[in-house]
Structure 1
Amino acid sequence: MQEMPKMGEMPEPMRQVVKSSIEQARKAFETFIAASQQAMSNIDTSAAPASHSMKMLNQKIAEFTKANAEANFELATKLADAKDMKDVIELQNQHVRQQMDTFAQQLEELRRLTTEVVTEAASKASTQMTSGGSSY
């Protein structure tokens, strides 16, 4: 049975191909995010209850998505430079620890923003019910 090559034995040209592929994926993702953000900015939410809060929530979700993807691209680039399995395991462990902290912070921020959306929607609905009008 043929032995698998060690990370340190990966030829440099192959490392460069891997890094180039990661960079191409990063650029494609950035293009997708930019197009998504443009599409979101063109949506008129002025008539929707909780429009301001909802827009802020959507922007925060896009921001988190971009930051999390960037963290994964950075990990992939570092893994391409890893010399041995010890480096790979340490990089992955470090990444998981950092992402778990990040996810906890992001979850708290999303909870706060979601509460604002619900509060704003309830306030607008209450105002519309008491005034007898509808802005839909």
Structure 2
Amino acid sequence: MTKSNKTGFEIPDQMREMADQSVDQARKAFDDYMSAARKTVGNVETTASTVRAGADDFGRTAMEYSEEHISAAFDLAQKMVRASTPQEMMQLQSDYLRKQMEALGEQVRDLGDKATKTARDASSQK
């Protein structure tokens, strides 16, 4: 048994070993916790990066579509100014609306696919 010089208090060797093991176990538990925390932070950062990239792509695509719609509207305005009869103007308007509705349907599907892909990619990284 070990004797302390200051107080005369004896600490049994078994108690000392148990305390040492307890400290080792606590250190291992802390190290495991920190490892898990680092992994979680890494996963969150990866997921956030994926979502950010998807949002950037979504935004760029939406901006491109907006430009296409505005350009088509200016084209229509230019054609309408040059039209010589009300029937021609009505036909131009009808053609414009049909083409815009077709384009809008495709664009909504594309943006929906992009959003779904981003969500799927983000959830697969967990």
TM-score range, shorter chain: 0.5 to 0.7
Alpha-carbon shift at residue 49 of structure 1 (Å): 4.9
Alpha-carbon shift at residue 101 of structure 1 (Å): 1.0
Q: Partners of 2:59 and 2:121 in 1: how far apart?
A: 15
Quick check: 1:98 aligned with 2:99? Answer: yes
Q: What's 2:61 paired with? A: 60
Q: Partners of 2:53 and 2:115 in 1: how far apart?
A: 12
TM-score, normalised relative to structure 2: 0.58
Q: Partners of 1:58 and 1:117 in 2: how far apart?
A: 13
What runs of 5+ residues in structure 2 fail to find an aligned partner?
A: 1-46
Question: Which one scores higher on RCO, CA 8 angstroms, separation ≥ 6?
Answer: 1
Q: Partners of 1:89 and 1:75 in 2: how far apart?
A: 11
Q: Partners of 1:57 and 1:71 in 2: how far apart?
A: 21
TM-score, normalised relative to structure 1: 0.54
Q: What's 2:119 paired with? A: 118
Q: Which has the larger radius of gyration?
A: 2
Alpha-carbon shift at residue 99 of structure 1 (Å): 0.8
User: What amino acid maps onto 1:123 in structure 2?
Assistant: S
Alpha-carbon shift at residue 50 of structure 1 (Å): 1.0
Q: Partners of 1:76 and 1:121 in 2: how far apart?
A: 43
Task: Say if 1:53 and 1:120, in contact at 8 Å, map to a contact too.
Answer: no
Alpha-carbon shift at residue 54 of structure 1 (Å): 1.4
User: What amino acid maps onto 1:69 in structure 2?
Assistant: I
Q: Partners of 1:58 and 1:88 in 2: how far apart?
A: 34
CA root-mean-square deviation: 1.8
Deviations 1:36-86 (A, max 9, x none): xxxxxxxxxx95551221111111101100001100110011111111110
Task: Say if 1:78 and 1:91, in contact at 8 Å, map to a contact too.
Answer: yes
Q: Partners of 1:55 and 1:68 in 2: how far apart?
A: 20
Alpha-carbon shift at residue 120 of structure 1 (Å): 2.6
Task: Say if 1:50 and 1:118, in contact at 8 Å, map to a contact too.
Answer: yes
Q: What's 2:51 paired with? A: 50
Q: Relative to structure 1, is the Cα distance of residues 112 and 62 closer, same or farther in structure 2, using a 3 angstrom cutoff?
A: same
User: What amino acid maps onto 1:52 in structure 2?
Assistant: A
Alpha-carbon shift at residue 104 of structure 1 (Å): 1.2
Runs of 4+ aligned structure 1 residues displaced above 3 Å come to 46-49
What runs of 5+ residues in structure 1 fail to find an aligned partner?
A: 1-45, 127-136
User: What amino acid maps onto 2:102 in structure 1?
Assistant: D
